[in-house]
Amino acid sequence: MSEKTTAFEKAVKDYYANPNDSVLFEAANELCSKMKLAEKLRMLSGRQFFTRNGFDLITKRQKYNCRPCLSGGVKRLGIPAVAFSDGPRGVVMGNSTCFPVSMSRGASFDDELEYEIGSAIADEVAAQGGNYFAGICINLLRNPRWGRAQETYGEDPFLLGKMGAALTRAVQDKGVIACPKHYAVNSIENIRFDVNVLSEDKTLHEVYLPHFKACIDAGAMSIMGAYNLFRGEHCCESKYLLKDVLRGEWGFTGFTISDFLMGVRNAPGALKAGLDIEMPQLMHYATLPLDLKLKRVSVEDINNSVESILRGLIKITPRLKYPGKSVVACKKHTELAKRAALEGTVLLKNNGILPLAESERVAVIGRYADKINVGDHGSSSVFAPYTVTPYQGLCNAFGKENVVLCEGTEFVAMESEIAKCGAVIVCVGSDYKQEGENLANFSKSDETTEKAMGGDRYSLRIPENEVELIHKACAAFDNVIVNIIGGSAYVIEEWKDEAGAILHSFYSGMEGGNALAELISGKANPCGHLPFTMAKNEDDYPDFLFPSAKTRDITYGYYHGYTLLDKENKKAAYPFGFGLSYTDFKYDNISANDCGETVEISLKIKNTGEYDGKTVVQVYAGAEGDHPVKLLKGFKKIFVKAGECSEASVIIDKKDLMFYNPDTKKWYPEDEYTFFVGQNSENTKAVKI
């Protein structure tokens, strides 16, 4: 080894000369053997966290993670620090591109688009000094009351896995370590530190873990533990999750980190269970030198964690290229953000009012008509250099002189002016005060006051004053379009029949206003599909716990979302996978072919309308036995020109058709499967194989 080659560089060279797991383990072991005990202990915790936060001059808000949060690093040996950046709607550092929230991107049903977004995010992480992205949030949406629903991709494990895996591959292909989170069964916010989730093995492996495994199979070299307890143990101290499943069953070779500040409660318990890095500061792990002396932990325990971290750094970071800061929020990325908003917006209803003529005079009213509203103010908050509101986007599309703005929930003073418009767009829903990461929210109801600050949603309905606004607008004006802004599902039975058209635009990012205008004007055709079930009643979803509950134990069952409605023979208001277009599609000639390790679903798609458009072919599978009626197992977004036909195929991996036997702890196939092919979970045609 020359004087100019560090020990870390040698380890990297050894691995890339023959890149396989055996060499990776040997390289990390050899590098670890050169480290002093103090250097090893330094690798196991974050540092300088509180100096990594600051104040944003654009938004005039305090800012978390404005610089990379560092952990580890040994200069003597050339070992880089883990330089953490959060997400997932973009890079929280600096003034980065604010993409639509993950739920909106889940609604795109487009994992190729998610790969593009991941590549852009990785560039912006690297440009600002990071080498680690913890924005792959893949917790399952069990009940839409969950405050952080916006950070994930939906209610279905397969959809979560496909989107999370795409983001994982994209980020790591650019040399940034990808971190899926929060592992595992994390889907309640207000009592996230002490809720204890109970779940049977079959449910756990088939419903709550497959998407994490998909990201590990995609190569993820890190994973973040959750705050909540699982079967009486904090997730960051669960040997079953961190060692038995993650490393034992899945063969994970990377490293684990805790959720911030409250993730670890007991240092020896966490380290021995397989928790490698305590983030974001040295707290409980400060006792490790004493724990070592008292033999509560061993040098082997410490080496195991250090080598896990080194494997992640050796395998991924050599690919890292540090682009100039000009890439941050560059035009290419902001245009990608708009495209993501276009692809993810869901058209729920249209009585023919949409699209509007570009010469139309329109009114936009409501609390969010001209308000920056891109998601919660928690750890996923992105401080974009600008944000286009619905009003601003409509002005860009229709001309400012043709757009009437009425903010708030009263329009009496402007009724005559609004009445002259050809259409009225009502913007309703939620913001960071009603839902999001729980930042000192001690309220017992959904509030819109300045004191409110995120957390779970007590009600799944639009706030009462906004529902009243919808009623009044629909009574006073023709051609009312309701634009729902929010993180997940709402119950809208009391007003949906009154509106002429309904859009769900989620939190659509910094270019969301322009995207909304392009969809309303017909410049773009809606093609988003719901990544969750919109039920008719709040009690159609599984049970949920709030702080007032007498217990902190909750059982996560086998059924939720569309699988629960299928089991109970109920219809949704809008089923999972639902999404309208300005055109119609007809699916014909559906067939299923056994291709050995895969099943190929083939069909012909005809665009029977007058607009070019995209449809999402959804393939579900069901089998006899104690299983859901159907489960999503494949999807593909297809563009078809007006009046034309296109042939399409969706490939199903037979591994995705397996079921888990809790007695043998093995996966098995059923003898016969029925495949359901359609445009949403309720509108399908069946074919057996």
Cα separation, 268 vs 367, whole angstroms: 50
Cα separation, 391 vs 514, whole angstroms: 9
What is the CA 616 to chain-centroid distance, rounded? 19
Question: Do β-strands 229-230 and 222-224 pair in parallel, antiparallel, or remain unpaired?
Answer: unpaired
Q: 78 and 8 in contact (C-beta within 8 Å)?
A: yes
Token pair 């004007």 is at which residue? 521
Cα separation, 169 vs 312, whole angstroms: 14
The identity of residue 128, as a single letter, is Q
Q: 31 and 79 in contact (C-beta within 8 Å)?
A: yes
- Rounded to 5 degrees, φ, ψ at 455 are 95, -170
- H and E: helices and strands count for the chain: 18, 28
Cα separation, 504 vs 257, whole angstroms: 35
Cα separation, 446 vs 457, whole angstroms: 6
- What would the two tokens of residue 687 be? 């074919």
Q: 411 and 472 in contact (C-beta within 8 Å)?
A: yes
Question: Do β-strands 82-86 and 255-257 pair in parallel, antiparallel, or remain unpaired?
Answer: unpaired
Active site (annotated) includes residue 259: yes
What is the CA 656 to chain-centroid distance, rounded? 21
Among 588, 581, 590, 601, CA closest to 642: 581
Cα separation, 67 vs 86, whole angstroms: 10
Q: 345 and 506 in contact (C-beta within 8 Å)?
A: yes
Cα separation, 167 vs 174, whole angstroms: 11
β-strand partners of 607? 585
Report how far apart, in Å, the C-alpha atoms of 555 and of each of 87, 204, 533, 542, 635 are.
Answer: 29, 11, 21, 10, 30
Give, to the nearest 10 degrees, the angle between helix 111-127 and helix 331-344.
Answer: 150
How is residue 458 annotated by DSSP?
S
Q: Which residues contact 578 (CB under 8 A, 6 or more apart)?
A: 346, 348, 529, 530, 534, 572, 679, 680, 681, 682
Cα separation, 330 vs 311, whole angstroms: 33
| 304 Ramachandran zone, left/alpha/beta (phi>0; psi -120 to 50) | alpha
Catalytic residue among 259, 291, 431, 456: 259
664 burial (CB, 10 Å; 0-12 / 13-18 / 19+) is exposed
Kind and range of the H or E element at 347? strand 346-350
Exposure on the CB side of residue 455, measured as CA atoms within 13 A = 22
Could you list the beta-strand ranges (E) of 495-566.
501-504, 553-555
Q: 50 and 285 in contact (C-beta within 8 Å)?
A: no
Q: Which residues contact 205 (CB under 8 A, 6 or more apart)?
A: 660, 662
Cα separation, 480 vs 356, whole angstroms: 12
Q: 616 and 637 in contact (C-beta within 8 Å)?
A: yes
Radius of gyration of the chain (CA): 25
Active site residues: 259
